[in-house]
A and B are shown apart, each in its own frame.
Chain A
Amino acid sequence: MSAPPDSELPPNITVASRMATFFRGGGILAPLITILVAFLAGGLVVLATGHNPIETYQAIFKGSGFNWFFPWLSEDDRIIAALNLQQTLILTTPLILTGLAVAFAFRCGLFNIGGQGQYILGSIFAVWVGSSFDGMPALLHVLVAMLAGVLAGAVWAGIAGLLKALAGTNEVISTIMLNWIAIWTGVWIFNLGSPLQNDNPDQVDVPVSNDIVEGAKLPVFWGDPQLQGLHIGIFIALAALVVFWVLLNRTTLGYEVRAVGFNPDAAEASGINVRRNYVMVMAICGAFAGLGGALDLLGWQFRIATNDIQTHTLAFFGIAVALLGRNTAIGTLLGALLFAGLLTGTSVRNLDPTVFEPQLATNLTYMIQGLVVLLISTDVLVVYLLRRRRRK
């Protein structure tokens, strides 16, 4: 990587760019310690509820399906592990993409909290295209539906970028506001009598979209396609990681993005159009998140109900994924795997209820997510203090 020298602190303008500076000071060790401390703190809570933390973490690990990789597993256990792993990888897909939506913005010194709204916009457009135009050639239909989701997410985030570029609106505020607009637009659009409510005579009274038609569904390559097997979206998400890396490290745009991230004033002075970069970067972030929404709908959910839109929180995990992954491609992948495993492993159906009540365990996942975000903020502080001591 051709990172500019980090011997001296550049003048820091935004929270995001300040955090980026300190991330570079921590290396690989800092995120590992962050996870370790988060898990230890989670373990203490488990202990306080009168359970055995080691057994609990083992049960969560088992519930995540990662034990599928162990060669000594019995045939019966392997079947269950395969199902669990499929669920984990299904969740990994949107987590990678919503993680990238945060990570890419971070590299430009922007904090994109709008992943949720961009994801929802992607879902809405994917379900609209995917459930109409029955009879379109299958491959074309999938591509068009995905593209619709990508563009919708890009435009949605682009609004925040545009506001930042033209009016200097803080993107944290505008993306949060756009989230709510997206949520309520989604609730309205699938509600009774609204444009995208289903036209199935059995379900006239249910506020849910039409089903994705067979031709627009992503192929399932592992497991039963009707019982939420693993769809090929995971490869699309992995490809997005490569795109992210190439874009950032091997293109002019990426160079400019990083330059703006390091120091917008210096970038401006050296002839980079900072405003244009803000819009571009936000649009690309939105494209990632929108793709995540599209893949979820075309890959395994196939329909979206108003209450799904209201209770959706996956995109917020994207923030923790990106922070933990230090806004790099490989880090985002690992972070997404970790949180997907935690979410599946602590779900009511996968966690062994004799070890730990799953109702509590889901909260454990939220707690670990919270701790990760909190601890990353603290290790920014730790690195900062270390640097100050060193300089004295």
Chain B
Amino acid sequence: MRRPLHLIALLAMVCSLFVAACGSEEEEPATGGNKTAEETPAKEAIKVGLVTDIGGLNDRSFNQLANEGLERAKAELGVETRVLISKANSDYVPNLSTLAQQQYDLVIGVGFLMADAMNTVAPKFPNTNFAIIDVDATTMKAKPTNVSGALFKENEAGYLVGYMAGLYLKDEGGGTASSVGGQKIPPVDAYIAGYQAGVQAANPEAKVVNGYSQKFDDPAPCKELALDHIAQGAKVVFQVAGGCGLGALDAAKEKGVQGIGVDADQAYLGDQIMTSALKKVDVAVYDEIKAVQDGSFKGGDNRLFDVKSGGVGIGETNEVGAKYADQIKAEQDKIASGELTDIPNTVQ
């Protein structure tokens, strides 16, 4: 019934495949060695690794901006780059440590969600430089001396877009200003707190409504939240949820209300984008890389990005938003000059 010859022939084929695979595996180190030998003497290129948070690389805001900064450094500073995308919270530690293990000169963690992992990994690799966006390096539990934190005053950017939203609501004769957050974490809340303060400052009668989707990647829950807010009378929707927030801006488009983008300039999403609250993560990433290259990198300390330094601000406006450009400029100057300082950081 069974034909042993066929069996043997097949087994032999399978075996030969494995042997072939192993054989060439043996040769690989040789070619690998040649490659690095050719590259290293060319220039003193430092190696920079970037670890995204679970928002993924194509969130069109936070992580994507970080990657743009990295790409710019690659083009202008000639650094060697690698990006590791995190799919789950448990990816942060191995992603950071793998890059450190492979002797990258600078490892950048993008986002507050990575604070714990950075706190674990950085002390293990004292000779590697680390940078982390949105985390205060001076308050990290392990007090690592090789981590530089990049902090943004999101509340200032939030205030400016909120002020614009408030002015718009005034002209519309009332209405609600909505904000759709991802997870309730400090950078998200700083935006929202600033936004609400801005709305109230421009138009004390305006109402605010706020919700969290608990997600940064999937657009569906943010869209649902935004539609809900619009049904409650929201005429402006501010998204603070990375890739998830794209759903909120989509809802604004669908219902013909104003949308406000976050982190990156999201004016390209359509006419409904009144403006965007900018957070120049790309500048922060670029600056950190440059610092490592020219030797001015300082661990255990923070870099601060605010309206004054141009690290946060306001993006392109649509026709509606353009009407308020002068008033917004005035507020911006007030913040930069230090006249306006008490913008809240946390949502009540």
Q: Are A191 and B25 in contact (CB under 8 A)?
A: no
Whether, in the assembled complex, A74 has its beta carbon less than 8 Å from a beta carbon of chain B, the answer is yes
With both chains docked as a complex, state the minimum distance between the C-beta of A362 and any C-beta of chain B, in angstroms: 8
Q: Are B7 and A192 in contact (CB under 8 A)?
A: no
Nearest A residue to B98 by beta-carbon distance?
A349
Across-interface contacts of B25 in A (CB, < 8 A)? 58, 61-62, 67, 70
Q: Are A87 and B14 in contact (CB under 8 A)?
A: no
Q: Mark B92-105, 1 if CB is under 8 A from A, else 0.
A: 01110111011000
Q: Are A306 and B120 in contact (CB under 8 A)?
A: no
A191 in contact with B214 given A208-B89, A224-B124 (CB within 8 Å): yes
A205 in contact with B14 given A54-B21, A227-B94 (CB within 8 Å): no
Please, how many residues of chain A have a CB less than 8 angstroms from a CB on the other chain?
Answer: 44
Whether, in the assembled complex, B24 has its beta carbon less than 8 Å from a beta carbon of chain A, the answer is yes
Q: Are B97 and A227 in contact (CB under 8 A)?
A: yes
Across-interface contacts of B29 in A (CB, < 8 A)? 74, 77
Whether, in the assembled complex, B88 has its beta carbon less than 8 Å from a beta carbon of chain A, the answer is yes
Whether, in the assembled complex, A207 has its beta carbon less than 8 Å from a beta carbon of chain B, the answer is yes
Whether, in the assembled complex, A353 has its beta carbon less than 8 Å from a beta carbon of chain B, the answer is yes
Nearest B residue to A307 by beta-carbon distance?
B54
Q: Are A353 and B21 in contact (CB under 8 A)?
A: no
Across-interface contacts of A307 in B (CB, < 8 A)? 54, 88-89, 214-215
With both chains docked as a complex, state the minimum distance between the C-beta of A95 and any C-beta of chain B, in angstroms: 15
Across-interface contacts of A58 in B (CB, < 8 A)? 21, 24-25, 28
Question: Complex formed: what's the CA distance from A307 to B242 in Å?
Answer: 15
Across-interface contacts of B120 in A (CB, < 8 A)? 226-227
Q: Are A227 and B183 in contact (CB under 8 A)?
A: no
* B interface list, Cβ under 8 A from A: 1, 7, 10, 14, 17, 21-22, 24-26, 28-29, 54, 82-85, 87-90, 93-95, 97-99, 101-102, 113, 120-121, 124, 183-186, 189, 212, 214-215
Name 18 interchain pairs, CB-CB below 8 A, sorted by A: A29-B10, A33-B10, A36-B17, A54-B24, A58-B21, A58-B24, A58-B25, A62-B25, A62-B28, A74-B29, A207-B214, A227-B93, A227-B94, A228-B90, A300-B90, A307-B215, A308-B88, A349-B99
* A interface list, Cβ under 8 A from B: 29, 32-33, 36, 54, 57-58, 61-62, 67, 70, 72, 74, 77, 79-80, 83, 87, 187, 191-192, 205-208, 224, 226-228, 300-301, 303, 305-308, 311-312, 348-350, 353, 359, 390
Question: Complex formed: what's the CA distance from A61 to B10 in Å?
Answer: 23
Shortest beta-carbon contacts, A-B, top 3: A205-B184, A349-B98, A227-B97
Chain A contact surface mostly:
helix
A306 in contact with B85 given A58-B21, A74-B29 (CB within 8 Å): no
Given contacts A79-B101, A191-B214, A348-B95, 19 further A-B contacts (CB under 8 A): A29-B10, A58-B24, A61-B25, A62-B25, A77-B29, A80-B101, A80-B102, A192-B184, A192-B212, A206-B113, A226-B93, A227-B93, A227-B97, A228-B90, A307-B214, A311-B54, A348-B84, A349-B84, A349-B94
Question: Complex formed: what's the CA distance from A57 to B28 in Å?
Answer: 13
Across-interface contacts of B83 in A (CB, < 8 A)? 348
With both chains docked as a complex, state the minimum distance between the C-beta of A65 and any C-beta of chain B, in angstroms: 12
Nearest B residue to A208 by beta-carbon distance?
B89
Across-interface contacts of B184 in A (CB, < 8 A)? 192, 205-206
Across-interface contacts of A191 in B (CB, < 8 A)? 214
A207 in contact with B21 given A72-B26, A77-B29, A80-B102 (CB within 8 Å): no
Question: Complex formed: what's the CA distance from A228 to B10 in Å?
Answer: 40
Across-interface contacts of B121 in A (CB, < 8 A)? 227
Nearest A residue to B1 by beta-carbon distance?
A390
With both chains docked as a complex, state the minimum distance between the C-beta of A114 and any C-beta of chain B, in angstroms: 21
Q: Are A61 and B21 in contact (CB under 8 A)?
A: yes
A308 in contact with B90 given A61-B21, A70-B25 (CB within 8 Å): yes
A205 in contact with B189 given A306-B214, A349-B94, A359-B85 (CB within 8 Å): yes
Across-interface contacts of B28 in A (CB, < 8 A)? 58, 62
Across-interface contacts of A62 in B (CB, < 8 A)? 25, 28
With both chains docked as a complex, state the minimum distance between the C-beta of B242 and any C-beta of chain A, in angstroms: 12
With both chains docked as a complex, state the minimum distance between the C-beta of A153 and any C-beta of chain B, in angstroms: 20
Question: Complex formed: what's the CA distance from A276 to B200 in Å?
Answer: 66
With both chains docked as a complex, state the minimum distance between the C-beta of B107 and any C-beta of chain A, in angstroms: 12
Q: Are B102 and A207 in contact (CB under 8 A)?
A: no
Across-interface contacts of A224 in B (CB, < 8 A)? 124
